[in-house]
Amino acid sequence: MTGEPIRVLHFADLHIGMEAYGQIDPQTGLNRRVVDFLQAFDRVVDHAIQGEADLVLFCGDAFKNRDPSPTYLREFAARLRRLLERGIPVFLLVGNHDLPGMEKRATPLDIFGEFRPLLREGERLMVGRREAVHRIQTRRGLLQLIAMPFPVRARLLKDEAWRNLPAEELDHKLREALRLLLQRMLETEIDPALPTMVAGHFSVEGATYGSERQVMIGYDVVLPPSMFQHPAIDYVALGHIHKHQAVGNGSPPIVYSGSLERVDFTEEGEPKGFCWVEVRRGDTEWRFVELPTRPFTTLSIDLRSASDPEMAAIAQICRAAPSIREAVVRVHVRIRPEQVEGLRETRLREELEKAGAFYVSGIRMEREEISRTRIALGEVERLTPLELLERYLESRDPPPDPERRARLLRAAEQLMKREAEA
């Protein structure tokens, strides 16, 4: 099979154990949202087997936290077993959610590495807890993988003086330590004639963040894309940021596969899946494979002009039924204060369930309070045109957010100056 590209399935951020927006599934005894995440993992395994992957590369954050239950460990192991039984090597990179509280303690992934000597010939299971070069023999050739797990300050900065450094200087020292490590591995440990990938779990400049900022564990360091723009690197596979995206100039591709499932409403509408990578030395191609995942849907209902708010709300829920079915749903209702008594939240929940909602996360009532800012005639005469505009903006319903208000005021001030100079 000389000359064929090496097929790598790159995915990350499983977060098994996320139980928000779910209830217990009586058939499995698991939270139904946990079942969603496991089913996404099943689809990854199916694709790897059907596509005859040469390597399954997981780039960190297997579980919600560093102490997963035995049940979650069992479910994770069952899916690894399917891959290994088909002779597909698996590489597990350690992410920030996998790290123990103390450096010398084991990560949840270390237990799988302990079984490596017992695996039958031809099967491989590797765990990347340290920065190192791994040579992986695949069915289609030898692949070099540079593992760069979530950066741990205590391991990377040997001098204890870092504990007293200001944040900006600490960031600089961490980035420099990682740059030198990567440079050393590229210059002394890899064969430049062989295809080479980097597997990392960290933030890269230019990436768009999502819900991972709300569930962050550990100190986050941001690395420049230029650090990986080296002629020996063919692909950079990343985890840590939940939104699928490519960053940098594309040479080499620097790609976040994104999470397999949505964690919360900050990821509403984002596609979820994994990356299928075909690696050749100096000629790597990749594509994003989207998975069918649990939809998150925000339903906005405006009842301010309705004579019967409850019936009007039910009618809007019925019209939105296709987008609600099997979705995690939240509802934002705009209503006048005098309409509140004519609207029962329990009835809305019943209708949402009839429409097939998987889970109703909340119904928020936004009451419209009509008010007008009146300015006395004497005060008007004392205010400048700019101050009058500011008062007007404050009286709007709703008022513009602070950033937009500031932009409008700056634009008005520039117009007034040009008019005065004309």
CA quadruple 301, 305, 309, 312: dihedral sign: negative
Judge residue 88's burial from the number of C-beta atoms within 10 Å of its C-beta, 0-12 exposed, 13-18 middle, 19 or more buried.
buried
Q: 1 in a domain, yes or no?
A: no
- Give the SS3 label for residue 367: strand
Q: 197 in a domain, yes or no?
A: yes
Q: 372 in a domain, yes or no?
A: no
Name the pTM for this structure.
0.80
Confidence category of residue 219, pLDDT binned at 50, 70, 90: low
Average pLDDT, the chain: 86
Which of residues 407 and 268 earns the better pLDDT score?
268
CB 335 within 8 A of CB 303: yes
Residues 237 and 258 in one domain: yes
Of the three residues 339, 367, 395, the one that is the final residue of a domain is 367
| CA–CA distance, 221 with 202 (Å, rounded to integer) | 7
| CA–CA distance, 273 with 290 (Å, rounded to integer) | 4
CATH, residue 234: 3.60.21.10
Question: Angle at CA 56, nearest 5°, toward 51 and 59?
Answer: 140
1-5, 98-102, 164-168, range with the lowest pLDDT: 98-102
Q: 280 in a domain, yes or no?
A: yes
CB 400 within 8 A of CB 408: yes
Q: Which tens digit of pLDDT belongs to each residue from 32-60?
A: 999 999 999 999 999 999 999 999 999 99
| CA–CA distance, 325 with 333 (Å, rounded to integer) | 19
Residues 236 and 153 in one domain: yes
> Token pair of 372, please?
């007008």
Residues 393 and 340 in one domain: no
Residues 231 and 266 in one domain: yes
Of the three residues 269, 290, 311, the one that is the final residue of a domain is 290
Residues 320 and 282 in one domain: no
Residues 128 and 227 in one domain: yes
Max mean pLDDT range (99-108, 152-161, 164-173, 309-318): 309-318
Q: Which tens digit of pLDDT belongs to each residue from 352-381?
A: 999 999 999 999 998 875 444 555 555 555
Q: Which tens digit of pLDDT belongs to each residue from 122-166?
A: 458 999 989 999 999 999 999 999 999 998 877 777 666 666 677
- Please report which helix (H) or strand (E) contains residue 145, including its range: strand 141-148
Any idea what DSSP says for residue 207? P
Residues 220 and 322 in one domain: no
Full strand arrangement of the beta sheet holding 296-302? 296-302, 328-335, 359-367
Q: 14 in a domain, yes or no?
A: yes
Residues 219 and 199 in one domain: yes
| CA–CA distance, 195 with 134 (Å, rounded to integer) | 12
Cis peptide before 252 (omega within 30 of 0): yes
pLDDT of residue 327: 97
Mean local confidence (pLDDT), 217-239: 89
> Token pair of 211, please?
């819900």
Percent pLDDT > 70 in the chain is 84
Q: 111 in a domain, yes or no?
A: yes
**pLDDT(212) > 80:** no
**pLDDT(267) > 80:** yes
Residues 260 and 352 in one domain: no
- Give strand pairing partners of 340: none
Residues 333 and 192 in one domain: no
Confidence category of residue 66, pLDDT binned at 50, 70, 90: confident
Number of structural domains in the chain: 3
Q: 271 in a domain, yes or no?
A: yes
pLDDT of residue 404: 79
Residues 201 and 130 in one domain: yes
Residue ranges making up the domain that contains 333: 296-367
Percent pLDDT > 90 in the chain is 61
**pLDDT(222) > 70:** yes
Q: Which tens digit of pLDDT belongs to each residue from 316-330?
A: 999 999 999 999 999
From start to end of 304-395, where are the E strands? 328-335, 359-367
Of the three residues 326, 345, 367, the one that is the final residue of a domain is 367
> Token pair of 155, please?
């391991």
Residue 358's closest CA among 241, 213, 243, 261? 261
Residues 171 and 279 in one domain: yes
